[in-house]
Amino acid sequence: MKIDWTSVTDELARWRQAGLTLPIWWRDDDAIAPTPALDRLVALSEAVQVPVHLAVIPKSAILELAARVAETDHLIPVVHGWAHHNLAPQTAKKAEFGETRDLADVAQDMQTGMTRLQSLFGPRLKHMFVPPWNRIAPVHFPALIQAGYKTLSTYTPRNAPFAAPGLQQVNTHLDPINWRAGKTLIAPDELVAQLLALLVDRRTGKTDNDEPLGLLTHHLVHDADVWDFTRQLLETLTSGPVTIYRHP
């Protein structure tokens, strides 16, 4: 697939001329087991030398996934909700941790998710919480902190470095999948325009460049075009003045 990245490479040249550095990171959601798609994700990560923060669903994750993660330092496991079930009212957008849920039930899910994945991954697990559908009501932030989470990751540029005292916010910003049209690739020219706008906003100070620019993928549903776009995107970004974020 031929994609015109000229506008992005020109923008990255402006960053280099200005002495600026772009922090980037990669998050991939919904892992529960080793699969050929996960192997392909690891191979791409190794090829472009960008690690993947793998958001794992605690309730469904199996022991074999932990064994696969242990085979590479390119997978960084983080917590993806609890069961990835939609518990929002019928008229609301999908969410597992919406504002209508009982606070005690939410706190239990957050703690159980952390405990279960710690039992699978041990110290490899990072204390980052990724709510399913990138949605969580702020009323649940205290429970996150109480359960030991240090970072919250959703979608779109963050409003502040911390979602709450002691809870860092590190979001994702570009998702190449068209979820309403058969989980196919969004038109590449649209994605390139989105990326360019994100970069210009950071360079001009409209958004926070201290927050790593995040790519969001879902390896289990990628078709050939999504894989190809992801590879080209990461190759283009890493050719610029970038640093790679790994959750500490």
Please report whether residue 1 resides in a domain.
no
**The total number of structural domains that make up the chain:** 1
Segment 25-34 mean pLDDT: 98
pLDDT of 136-146, one tens digit each? 999 999 999 99
Q: Which residue has the higher pLDDT, 124 or 91?
A: 124
Which of 39, 2, 23 has the alpha carbon at shortest distance from 211? 23
The parent domain of residue 57 ranges over: 6-243
Tokens representing residue 163 in the block: 């979602």
Contacts from 227-233 at CB under 8 Å and sequence distance 24+? 227/40, 227/44, 228/1, 229/1, 229/3, 229/176, 229/185, 229/188, 229/191, 230/44, 230/176, 231/44, 231/47, 231/48, 232/1, 232/3, 232/5, 233/174, 233/176, 233/191, 233/195
pLDDT of 159-193, one tens digit each? 999 999 999 999 999 999 999 989 999 999 999 99
pLDDT of 47-105, one tens digit each? 999 999 999 999 999 999 999 999 999 999 999 999 999 888 888 899 999 999 999 99
Segment 2-30 mean pLDDT: 98
Q: Which helix (H) or strand (E) holds 63?
A: helix 63-70
Q: What is the pTM of this model?
A: 0.96
Please report whether residue 138 resides in a domain.
yes
Please report whether residue 37 resides in a domain.
yes
Q: What are phi and psi of 27, to 5 degrees?
A: -125, 135
- Using CA atoms, how far residue 139 sits from 83, 144, 145, 195, in Å, is 20, 10, 12, 31
Segment 125-153 mean pLDDT: 97
Q: What are phi and psi of 170, to 5 degrees?
A: -135, 100
Q: In the chain, which ranges are E strands?
A: 22-31, 52-56, 75-79, 128-129, 151-152, 162-164, 167-169, 177-178, 184-185, 213-217, 242-244
Please report whether residue 248 resides in a domain.
no
Please report whether residue 116 resides in a domain.
yes
Please report whether residue 227 resides in a domain.
yes
* HSE, side-chain direction, 13 A CA sphere, residue 1: 17
Percentage of the chain modeled with pLDDT above 70: 100
pLDDT of residue 240: 97
> Domain with 100 in it: what CATH number?
3.20.20.370
SS3 content of the chain, % helix, strand, coil (to 5): 40, 20, 40
Burial of 127 (0-12, 13-18, 19+ CB in 10 A): middle
Question: Do the beta carbons of residue 54 and residue 124 sit within 8 Å?
Answer: no
Answer yes or no: is pLDDT of 27 > 90: yes
